[in-house]
Structure 1
């Protein structure tokens, strides 16, 4: 039933889906006091006036409403004019170096479109591997899997096997995509400041750069008004990654390097978010305690 509804919704114009999403966003905001309080608290923690972030309520709904359009789009139907790139030269330069590319983006705007758009433009040269956690709803699991496995776009499970898959991809000069502003399982992160408050932050992003020597760039997919599509902005990080040859601090113990690296990644995400706070997913429980890590059998990969 749910996949059928998704496929029917995918036929609607993107502008209409976004209008429906606006309504959904506000219904969720007023219908759930805990969600509303957390969203407002996270905005305040970032030091923002409510007026600057108020649009994020509708943006969260639009994010949900546009998923059928993104997930059910035929593989042979390119995004084309729906996506515009700003800073594509940074991607070109990183790929030309041939040492792998790590793409980092927060839960901002239409982050789902970034991997698809990258795969269409550069996937034949350097396929992208994106970290993927299967849907908790069985009815959506197959639909989501089919939508994300496209030409030039591969997925890695959110476990040890997936980490090894991403390391192999980067060492071969491929590309990997991550959303580092989500809370990882216990033991896979460190506590680091995020908008002035300690948040459990994944170490995977920094480890991938440290272990493979890959380049890393920042991405943000801004949702354009009126259902006109998206602009993907690519930028170079303002700070070097700790634990790499470019790190001026040099030899500190591993725990200290991990904390500094997490703080660098968090500051990079903050910069992207503050540029478009009306499109960030402020309702996410960013400051929650991490969940226990599930046991994952080793697959023998290096």
Structure 2
């Protein structure tokens, strides 16, 4: 890829992100897909692909709402792990999954690096407190598999701790399964060239630069070490009770749709019938007078 082609691709990446955020906002405001894409030529392949993406995304999100109701009704306990290289698209799919769900039912656990106290605990201890109760779904944006990936590659654990992790994690996950927790594990797989492009896009996007940490940059340098660690992890922790599923993620939109579609297929959910909701009449009293809001506490109307 020439420098000009690379710059064009980065520009498309930045523009695509901005377009999608705007389109999602307009759709939520009641605009339909045909109205939204009027500005593009009728024969535009990009227009057709974009319309297909949004129509499928909304359909799948509707199914996720049904899944949520089923989880609440049945008292199911669901844990979904999202692992993968930096910039692989884990956050993007998590955002689309949770976008229309109740945060009291479906929540995200994205733990920071362990503090000094946590480093002395049983390795899995800080993750246990985030596990779901009945009627809850928890999405882990990275998980206990940090030990098999970043900790191994960056030297944050020793060989003994690394091997103990592989001895413990199958039993830990079998314990979760026996307790009634359904555990689903996804690895988002991207190519060397695609990660390179996404890192460059983040560097040139002021709204995404915060996503690039020194650790991310070092992980880029150690690409091959991460590949080896990933291969060992998948081989040693792919168990019947909690198998790994690999999402091909070079195309972000396809990866999101494929992951959500697969996730829905992993649970025997059914549509839950809800009682019809009727809005009650507001009670009115003749002696009620609403007090005016003091002007000095009203937010100025800058827009």
For Structure 1 versus Structure 2, the TM-score category normalised by the shorter chain is 0.3 to 0.5
Which structure: larger Rg? Answer: 2
Between Structure 1 and Structure 2, the one with more helix by share is 2
Given the two structures, how large is their TM-score scaled by the length of structure 1? 0.33
Q: Could you say which structure has the higher strand fraction?
A: 1
